Amino acid sequence: MDGLECKEVCKSELERTLRIDSEFYSKNYVEIYNMLSSLAHKPLTAYVDVSDGNHMGISEQFSDEGIPYYRGQDAGAFFIENSNPICIDEITFNRPVMKRSHLKQGDVLLSIVGTIGALSLVYSNKDATCSCKLAILRPKKSDTEAVIAAFLKGKYGQAQIKRYTRGAVQMGLILEDTDQIIVPHFTDTLGKAIKQQIDLAYRIKEHSIQTYSEAQELLETHLGISKAEKCDLITSTETLLQSFKATGRLDAEYYQPQYRKLETALINYDPNIKPLGVIAKYIFTGEYAEEYLDKDALPNLRNYIRGTDISNGYVESDNSIFIDPTGFSKFVSSGDILTGRVGTIGKFGVVDETLSGALCSDNILCFHLPEAYMPNVYALYFNNPIIKSLITRLARGSVQQRLNQETLREVLVPYINDSVQTLIDQKVASSFNLREKSEHILAIVIRTVEMAIEQGEDAALAWLKERSGE
């Protein structure tokens, strides 16, 4: 039976770490190793310098704004810039002990703990850094990062990463094992073709972001709010009756005038404005799952959505993990809006048809609006930085911000004019279409590298040319 094969391995055949676990010598891993070994190849470390990110505890410096600080859970999208990282301030970033983890354009970031194998490419030259949960693969030769990233994201790279993952309590990939990952020799011709397509995908992605920003500007203009309306924090005096007895809140931040100003603007737009708890058809918290499974481990597995899968307006399906749905009862539906409730809150995304029937983590809140409220439009509304300030205001928790069902129900939600909803929805849809186009190109790129291994570079380049319309 497939998967139950027996294989005799001589001691002399054991790799340098003397792995004796049967999984290491599984049929799939051995076949991939033999295939790659038959080709001209070098160890990964011949192409990249390997290090890891910051080991210093700086969680107290985390914020929503500043210099990106990428963690293991941020890797996965082809471009790391597509993630939603926490941030640190410039002073922390420039500490001498942090400089070793400063990122450079062209770095490949590989998650080595937790979501092992998740991988992203650093495409911009903006300041950024990362945690020790990420390995930093820095190409020794310029313009090779594209093909290296595509290879490692493909099945032959991922199989090797999984093979060398080990650990008893917590599984991980140690940096010293990266020199055992072998990379076939790819010609400059293939490398340039791959980079050209990745450049195109990045430009399309940037266009997608710009289109989404235009939708935000349209929303702000129509509602009568703008960044200019966010006034500086100033002193405000509230009586006990006006404050604690009315809201149960004693934190001064809650009563800052800027929040009252924004609420007044929303009420002026829609005098009949209602809180989310009155409008929503349902609101629920997701469920905790103890065991994550590979997609094909069992039949009828379901996507398991986590907070890191929620981005600007959408829920990422490519990075989802899977669980056995037995015993679970809270399934999401197409059109649901999800948001994280712990940590860095304020990201909202819409569940599309591909994720309908999925489950979500207990760190996620899910709600559904009536049909007249277009999901993409209202996810945009909740993602607006100005509206986000009202949401974070409601978040409770002194050490770690939390957004629970009760506080989410308090968020004011205006009814946006039908024609304006249509215009905004069209903008958002255009942005998402561009994003999907970018991701489609990247999928073709990854498959091209796989084909170069399987069928030779000439066949792979011909296939790529056909798919790219050249």
- Residue 364's beta-bridge partner residues? 340
The answer to whether 71 and 133 have CB atoms below 8 angstroms apart is yes
Q: Residues 6 or more apart from 299 whose CB is under 8 A from it? A: none
Tokens (6 digits) for 25: 């010598």
Domain residue ranges of the chain, discontinuous segments joined by +: 11-185, 208-423
Least confident of 22-31, 98-107, 206-215, 414-423: 22-31
- Residue 110's beta-bridge partner residues? 119, 135
187 pLDDT band (50/70/90 cuts)? Answer: very high
Is the confidence at residue 394, as pLDDT, over 80? no
Q: Which long-range contacts (CB under 8 A, 24 or more apart) does 447-456 make?
A: 447/154, 448/150, 448/190, 448/193, 448/194, 448/197, 449/147, 449/150, 449/151, 449/154, 449/186, 449/190, 449/194, 450/154, 450/155, 450/156, 452/184, 452/186, 452/190, 453/35, 453/36, 453/39, 453/156, 453/184
> What pLDDT, on the 0 to 100 scale, is given for residue 243?
42
Measured CA to CA, the distance from residue 460 to residue 194 in angstroms comes to: 11
In this structure, whether the domain defined by 208-423 belongs to CATH 3.30.70.520 is answered with no
- Residue 284's beta-bridge partner residues? 366
CA torsion sign, 386 to 387 to 390 to 393? negative
% residues pLDDT > 90 (the chain): 67
Least confident of 106-115, 148-157, 235-244, 364-373: 235-244
Higher model confidence: residue 391 or residue 444?
Answer: 444
Tokens (6 digits) for 261: 């100003």
> What pLDDT, on the 0 to 100 scale, is given for residue 392?
76
Is the confidence at residue 353, as pLDDT, over 80? yes
- Residue 327: phi and psi, rounded to 5, are 90, -5
> What pLDDT, on the 0 to 100 scale, is given for residue 266?
94
In this chain, the answer to whether the domains covering 11-185 and 208-423 adopt an identical fold is yes
> What pLDDT, on the 0 to 100 scale, is given for residue 2?
53
221 pLDDT band (50/70/90 cuts)? Answer: very high
Is the confidence at residue 239, as pLDDT, over 80? no
Q: What is the pLDDT of residues 405-451, one digit of tens each?
A: 998 999 999 999 999 999 999 999 999 999 999 999 999 999 999 99
> What pLDDT, on the 0 to 100 scale, is given for residue 19?
67
The answer to whether 364 and 276 have CB atoms below 8 angstroms apart is no
In this structure, whether the domain defined by 11-185 belongs to CATH 3.90.220.20 is answered with yes
255 pLDDT band (50/70/90 cuts)? Answer: low
Kindly report the average pLDDT of the chain as a whole number.
87
Least confident of 171-180, 293-302, 375-384, 434-443: 293-302
Q: What is the pLDDT of residues 55-91, one digit of tens each?
A: 999 988 998 789 999 999 899 899 999 887 899 999 9
DSSP track, 408-450: HTTSEEPPPPHHHHHHHHHHHHHHHHHHHHHHHHHHHHHHHHH
Residue that the structure tokens 């002193």 belong to: 235
Higher model confidence: residue 12 or residue 63?
Answer: 63
Is the confidence at residue 307, as pLDDT, over 80? yes
> What pLDDT, on the 0 to 100 scale, is given for residue 105?
96
Q: What is the pLDDT of residues 357-378, one digit of tens each?
A: 999 999 999 999 999 999 999 9
